Structure 1
Amino acid sequence: MTRIIFSSAILLLISSQATMAANRHVDIVNKTGMTLKEFYASSTGSNNWEEDILGRDTIANGETFDINIDDGTGACRFDFRAVFQNGGESVKRNVNVCEISTFTYTR
């Protein structure tokens, strides 16, 4: 029984370390026909959107922008908020940035 518990603890530790080391770079692809002018990514469950990751940059229709979505906590699940040139927005919840490398906005 002790051997099983010890083995489980080692597997949990290895799994935790793999999540901490996971690549959180995500290519944000804009295929909406509009310019994406603000982009936010906050840990799922957070009560605010943090800062606009794009800053002065924008993502024109047809463009891709590489974003490192690593807030230093080791979290993998984030909520995304995109704001477009016409003032419209799109919110996607619970995106696992440890499992994806591309996220595409479409019409």
Structure 2
Amino acid sequence: MTPLTSAASVASVIIKTEAMAYMKTKLVLTALALFAATTFEARAEDLVFKLKNNTNAVLTNFYTSPVGVNEWEDDVFGRQVLNPGEDMEITIADGREVCKYDMRFEFEEGSDLDTTEDMQDLCELGEYTIHE
């Protein structure tokens, strides 16, 4: 092997190694950027607040929908209820990028309390207390 061939081989290996390192770095940076973007979106979409029942009746159903939507979404409670004096952390993870929601509260049958509706900016809301 001549010195020129040996130097050319070494240079070729160095260039290939640098190219592979560049591609790996680019791939890692792209993956990190995608992860950061999806993490930020997930946090931006979830609306979390504490709901307190400061009434003497069991709160049986809680519905929300973005302002301007004519139909109520599914019952946030599912099979749960919120008893008098209790509170519950509520997470609305509907994937929307809105803050203002209409809310509908329904109480147990036979209660003296009527169904109540309200509108709130849930992005700003840390806690919501329903009163009689």
Q: Does 1:92 align with 2:118?
A: yes
TM-score by length of 2: 0.62
How many Å separate the matches in 1 of 2:70 and 2:77?
20
The structure that is helix-richer by fraction is 2
TM-score by length of 1: 0.75
Q: Greater RCO between the two (CA within 8 Å, min separation 6)?
A: 1
Could you tell me which of 37, 59, 64 is aligned with 2:60?
A: 37
User: Where does structure 1 lack aligned partners over 5 or more consecutive residues?
Assistant: 1-16
Residues 52 and 88 in structure 2, CA contact (< 8 A), matched pair in contact too:
yes
The structure that is strand-richer by fraction is 1
Question: Equivalent pairs: percent with the same residue?
Answer: 30
User: Where does structure 2 lack aligned partners over 5 or more consecutive residues?
Assistant: 1-39
Which residue is equivalent to 1:13? none
The higher radius of gyration belongs to: 2
How many Å separate the matches in 2 of 1:21 and 1:46?
20
1:70 CA displacement:
3.1
Residues 22 and 98 in structure 1, CA contact (< 8 A), matched pair in contact too:
no
